């Protein structure tokens, strides 16, 4: 582990522990940070190291905990990270956390409503997308997400803990025969989506994991 990794690990631990305490004191959901689990962060890091995307998009920055995982993983493949959140105060915290890890130059923070960002985003621009935002909106955003998705993998957090909220989104995915998906029980559950390979694969796999084809539960 090099010195920069030591700093990032320290900041990640601080943000996660502080975030849990913060959320326990909040009564309004919108004020919570709702950070991913450390196991989810490590999974995202490993997946990015394997996929080697050039441009990463995160919908749902919060205080930047997941953003740090994405940015650190992106260093190995020289990937640029864009992260979107409508909450200006949370973005201030995210910017401070990124600066403390010297990762500010690798992440662009966009403080605006995700739906508006997606409508004006360049087509085919991102080849790794992480969704950790308002799950009830994913189905409505799907057309715009598809336009800006240039390939690679889409990962959605809370696929197990809040599975019912994702059902309209899953219905849209399963209606498209060019897509395939799977759910992994990592953290609060991770939904992985990719375009079906055009070549003939004897097994449908992502990193050694079987994918669920459209129409399967």
Give the pLDDT confidence score for residue 202 in this predicted structure. 44
92: which residues sit within 8 A by CB, 6+ positions away? none
State CA 139 to chain mean position distance: 16
Query: What are the 10-residue block averages of pLDDT along the chain, 217 residues in total?
Result: 79 96 94 97 97 98 98 95 97 97 95 97 97 97 97 97 97 97 98 83 50 48
Contact of 200 with 188, CB cutoff 8 Å: no
The string of pLDDT tens digits covering residues 154-181 is 999 999 999 999 999 999 999 999 999 9
Q: 10 Å Cβ neighbour count for 141?
A: 19
Q: Which domains does the chain carry?
A: 3-210 (3.40.50.150)
CB of 128 closer than 8 Å to CB of 102: no
Q: Model-level pTM greater than 0.85?
A: yes
pLDDT tens digits for range 62-87: 999 999 999 999 998 999 999 999 99
Average pLDDT of the residues of the chain: 91
């Amino acid at each position: 582990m090099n010195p920069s990794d030591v700093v990032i690990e320290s900041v990640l631990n601080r943000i996660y522990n502080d975030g849990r305490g913060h959320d326990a004191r909040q009564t309004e959901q919108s004020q919570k940070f709702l950070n991913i689990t450390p196991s989810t962060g490590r999974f995202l890091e490993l997946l990015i190291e394997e996929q080697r995307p050039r441009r990463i998009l995160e919908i749902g920055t919060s205080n930047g905990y997941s953003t740090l995982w994405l940015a650190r993983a992106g260093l190995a493949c020289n990937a640029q990270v864009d992260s979107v959140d409508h909450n200006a105060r949370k973005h201030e915290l995210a910017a401070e956390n990124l600066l403390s890890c010297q990762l500010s130059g690798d992440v662009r923070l966009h403080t605006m409503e995700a739906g508006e960002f997606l409508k004006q985003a360049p087509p085919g621009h991102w080849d790794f997308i992480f969704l950790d935002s308002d799950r009830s909106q994913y189905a409505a955003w799907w057309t715009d997400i598809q336009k800006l998705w240039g390939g690679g993998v889409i990962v959605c957090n809370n696929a197990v803990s809040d599975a019912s909220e994702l059902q309209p989104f899953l219905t849209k995915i399963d209606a498209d025969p060019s897509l395939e998906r799977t759910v992994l029980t990592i953290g609060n559950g991770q939904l992985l989506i990719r375009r079906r390979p055009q070549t003939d694969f004897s097994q449908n796999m992502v990193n050694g994991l079987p994918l669920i084809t459209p129409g399967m539960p």
